[in-house]
Amino acid sequence: MVSGGFVVGAAADRLRLRFDIGYDGTDFAGWARQPGQRTVCGEIEAVLSVILREPVVLTVAGRTDAGVHATGQVAHCDVAAAALDTRSLQNDPAQLVRRTARMLPADVRIKAATVVSTDFDARFAALRRHYRYRLTDAAWGAEPVAARDTATWSRQLDVSAMNDASATLIGLHDFAAFCKRRDGATTVRDLQRFSWSRDEAGIAVAEVSADAFCWSMVRSLVGAVATVGEGRRSVQWCAGLLEETSRASAVPVAPACGLTLVGVDYPPPDQWAARGAVTRDVRDAVGCCGDARGDDVRSE
């Protein structure tokens, strides 16, 4: 029997584990494993494989790109039930938090580990992803203590104008102008939130939420509205980008360092299977090689 949200009987030989993960993406070549590159997935899989005494393969909610951070990343894996039946783990998946903290490098951490039903899928069961972008327009740039998660914009920004521009992009649209092209992939997304505010330090902070994001989409959204905020472009120009059918060269891609995945929403457990089925159906409708709305294959 295993604690952690779902009881597993003695006859069960496999478990599904959910992990809540945070990392500083500065020194990583992104989430996805890449030969010869230091990646978040590679570091975590290597440590879990040692602790659980079998090869671990993670499925993730959003494959963040090089330099992008996370405080609310979610992943899952399947392992033998016996993997938790050790002196150090004592059939308690929560013990993985302490064990991995002693073995992982300081810039990546598993913050929670729980047993879930096989209906849970970190990627396909997700309802939406939430990102935060931090952008400073201070003449001196980012404070040194915040330089790893705060990007710098060289001109003064009007946050009110940026909110006006952001509001025109909310909704279900084809975001082709903001996405790097991938053959067979749809660029239709449901952008549910895109708003800006200044924090107590004067940093311009964007909160961005959608069912899923295309590759480079968030940073392109930020870059587009920042050009409005600096007065170089109009709100109408920004809105007009939704009429484009391919990547718009006039849209700058904001630096990766300012971007953090802060959360992933899932339905209640009794709806995991249904949500996963819907997402897979949409993906299949696009094609075997495409990304689907709701299927965050490569997010940033």
Amino acid residing at 52: L
Q: Helix/strand/coil (H, E, C) string of 75-89?
A: EEEEEEHHHHCCCCC
Greatest Cα pair distance in the chain: 65
Amino acid residing at 243: E
Could you tell me which residues are beta bridge partners of residue 131? Answer: 208, 261
Active centre residues (catalytic):
65
What residues contact 296, with CB distance under 8 A and at least 6 apart? Answer: 61, 62, 63, 123, 126, 129, 212, 213
CA distances from 185 to 63, 180, 271 (A): 15, 10, 26
Reduce the DSSP state of residue 74 to 3 states and report it. strand
Give the integer Cα–Cα distance in Å for 141 and 150: 9
Beta strand residue intervals within 199-246, DSSP E: 204-210
What is the radius of gyration, based on Cα positions, of the chain?
A: 20
Give the integer Cα–Cα distance in Å for 39 and 22: 13
Among candidates 142, 143, 75, 131, which has minimal Cα distance to 108?
Answer: 75
Give the integer Cα–Cα distance in Å for 164 and 236: 10
